[in-house]
Structure 1
């Protein structure tokens, strides 16, 4: 698909993910050993697309410092910065002058997916669409905007979240735009493709197609989704060519030390220089570089930030431990708790179990 270009929209800090590492935007958070955005870029490259426009409004230099001109990823990357947040539609319009292809793949930068991008483009061209949306079927669509289609795959309408959705098809955050549609989006102001651009196209009689499948898909907007998405990448459930090691029960990066008798599994990422003590149990977790898990500690489906410590016998379940924070010995954290960076919880400082 060397006649297709890609646009990736990456937003701000992602406040729903705090506290993690407060110095990096969400798409740069380590996910299965590399910045989250690297997984999307690897899929774009694998589909045969070579030119990517990265649109951002926050810490753009962070992306450029890491990915450079894209050569190392087999891509040509151009960076475009918004002077002020412009929304999804406004962000797409903001990069228009950098585009040259007739068909443009557009991605929301905080979605982990496994759809066949070539098939989405093929649907777009076969139906002579102005815009084609990747739609994924989910078990419970009530939390998402629903997109019903007719028997020919034509999008009928865009529905906000509802308790009685008429379809299990939702907008998966991947589109193919005809270049002329991008040029028609109002310039210099916030525009939502979901609320303005797509409904406007339907009202005008334009062809909006849906490419529907049941491929892997996860919105990475919460800590729980980040943890589970990372584990899926490590185990090979979610596809990526950017994984810095083989798929399996754990991804262990250089310099990490795992003591004899420790159990590390479930798609855990063990960052550089991490130490895991004897008898510890680590399942489906993300341990950022320099983190320490003490002897007999339990870490399940949680994030342990850069240089943070979970001391001996502590239990951390469904929790985010910020950079350099300390969870004292025998503490128990669970159920979506968050420990901010540099906070120190003393031994036995937080417990749910009765002490005897």
Structure 2
């Protein structure tokens, strides 16, 4: 659904209340990249009988969630704290929780969870280890994820035309059917499919979206 005004992580879930049925549903942040087994997470929630299950891991500097020895969540701080765990952005929610979220206004789902904890409702943790997880909510973190997955090298998709004078430096990702003209320089950047980079242009620490024609130097931006 369209939100004429941003409703936040709680309000956005409430806004699609009519979509959910009586079964628990899984929500994941759109700005994370992970291979966490979501089916396994959902199964943990189903067997727990809790209202909410938050998927947690040890990830400085985001360790804000306190759990007890039964994996009940007892507190969610606003700063990193020693001995706590981090919320991955993945949670399974029972539809009953929707009644605790205000309608039509901005709300933070974490504030809703804090209130459920104060009311001694069942908010539980599912701990995951041995997985890949990265926040990709900024240009820097998005590029870092691509660097990791590219293995510090250049990945060039099928159907590309790369002039022999092009300089590819450090690492990068060139999407399929892209065109790189004479004396182009690409460094630590991600070009999606069908991108054209005009002659002499330098693309550094940037992201170029599908089908764009780049006719000026880019540095640290999304184009």
Q: Same-fold call, TM > 0.5?
A: yes
Aligned equivalent of 2:217 = 326
Q: Say which SS state the counterpart of residue 272 (structure 1) adopts.
A: coil
- Higher fraction of strand: 2
Aligned equivalent of 1:89 = 10
Q: Give deviations 1:209-250, integer Å, cap 9, x for gaps.
A: 111223211222211111122344455xxxxxxxxxxxx850
Aligned equivalent of 1:240 = none
Aligned equivalent of 1:35 = none
Q: Distance in 2 between matches of 1:261 and 1:291?
A: 10
Q: Give deviations 1:173-226, integer Å, cap 9, x for gaps.
A: 11100111124322122211112x101111111111111223211222211111
Aligned equivalent of 1:254 = 159
Aligned equivalent of 1:135 = 56
Q: Distance in 1 between matches of 2:21 and 2:222?
A: 45
Q: Give deviations 1:287-338, integer Å, cap 9, x for gaps.
A: 241124759x7x6644356322xxxxxxxxxxxxxxx4236xxxxxxxxx54
Q: How does 1:122-201 map to 2 (within 5 A)?
A: 122-138=43-59, 140-141=60-61, 144=62, 146-162=64-80, 165-167=81-83, 169-195=85-111, 197-201=112-116
Asked whether the 8 Å contact 1:271–1:287 carries over to 2, the reply is: no
Asked whether the 8 Å contact 2:172–2:186 carries over to 1, the reply is: no
Q: Distance in 2 between matches of 1:326 and 1:301?
A: 11
Asked whether the 8 Å contact 1:250–1:264 carries over to 2, the reply is: no
- Structure 1 stretches of 4+ with a deviation exceeding 6 A read none
Q: Which has the higher contact order (CA 8 A, sep 6+)?
A: 2
Q: How does 1:95-110 map to 2 (within 5 A)?
A: 95-110=16-31
Q: Distance in 2 between matches of 1:181 and 1:115?
A: 24
Asked whether the 8 Å contact 2:161–2:180 carries over to 1, the reply is: yes
Q: Give deviations 1:148-182, integer Å, cap 9, x for gaps.
A: 212221111100024xx123521111110011112
Q: Say which SS state the counterpart of residue 102 (structure 2) adopts.
A: coil
Q: Are 1:269 and 2:144 matched, yes or no?
A: no
Asked whether the 8 Å contact 1:110–1:221 carries over to 2, the reply is: yes
Q: Distance in 2 between matches of 1:258 and 1:201?
A: 59
Q: Distance in 1 between matches of 2:168 and 2:105?
A: 52
CA RMSD of aligned residues (A): 3.1
Distance change >3 Å, CA 276–CA 210, structure 1 → 2: farther
Asked whether the 8 Å contact 2:55–2:126 carries over to 1, the reply is: yes
Structure 2: tracts of 5 or more residues without a match: none
Which of 190, 197, 200 is the equivalent residue of 1:291?
Answer: 197
Q: Distance in 2 between matches of 1:339 and 1:103?
A: 39
TM-score, with length taken from structure 1: 0.53
Distance change >3 Å, CA 183–CA 123, structure 1 → 2: same
Distance change >3 Å, CA 293–CA 127, structure 1 → 2: farther
Distance change >3 Å, CA 160–CA 211, structure 1 → 2: same
Q: Say which SS state the counterpart of residue 160 (structure 1) adopts.
A: coil
Q: Distance in 1 between matches of 2:56 and 2:163?
A: 42
